[in-house]
Amino acid sequence: MTDCLFCKIVNNQIPAEKTFEDKNFLAFKDIHPKAPTHILVIPKKHITSLADMHPGDAPLIGQLMHRVALIAEQVGIAEKGYKVVLNIREHGGQVIPHIHVHLLGGKALHWEV
């Protein structure tokens, strides 16, 4: 999507501090980190939110979650543990309409809604 911020990061039109990239996925540091480690993991395919995925996207989203676990290992937060957050639409607090997984860790994190 041409006017999507995260598609622009995928297409290198906007810089980001990348932690992982392959054919289907990209991970980069959140610009306003809410934990010592705060990484966003996205599919390169533009899917607006979890609520907008099609049944055919299920394998890709499954792989996305596996990739999140692998990145947690890669950045050294897996042993202690971490939190994974998906914000969806207005009440979920989603600001960027391109599905992204927040990977948060590096300290004990509490549950706030």
Buried-exposed string 76-106: b where 16+ CB fall within 10 A, e elsewhere: ebeeeebbeeebeeeeeebeebbbbbbbbbe
Chain Cα centroid distance, residue 33: 13
**Closest separation between CB of residue 28 and ligand AMP, Å?**
6
Question: Which of 2, 3, 23, 31 touches ligand AMP by CB under 6 A?
Answer: 31
By CB under 6 A, residue 108 contacts ligand AMP: no
Nearer to ligand AMP, 33 or 56 (CB): 33
Q: Is 48 in the site for ligand AMP (CB under 6 A)?
A: no
Q: Residue 77: CB partners within 8 Å, gap ≥ 6?
A: 37, 103, 105, 106
Site string for Zn ion, 5-34 (x = CB under 5 A): -xx---------------------------
Told to judge if 100 belongs to the known catalytic residues of this protein, a careful annotator would answer: yes
| Placement of tokens 């979920």 in the chain | 92
Kindly indicate which of the ranges 18-26, 67-75, 86-94, 105-113 contains the residues binding ligand AMP, using the contact rule CB under 6 A.
Answer: 86-94
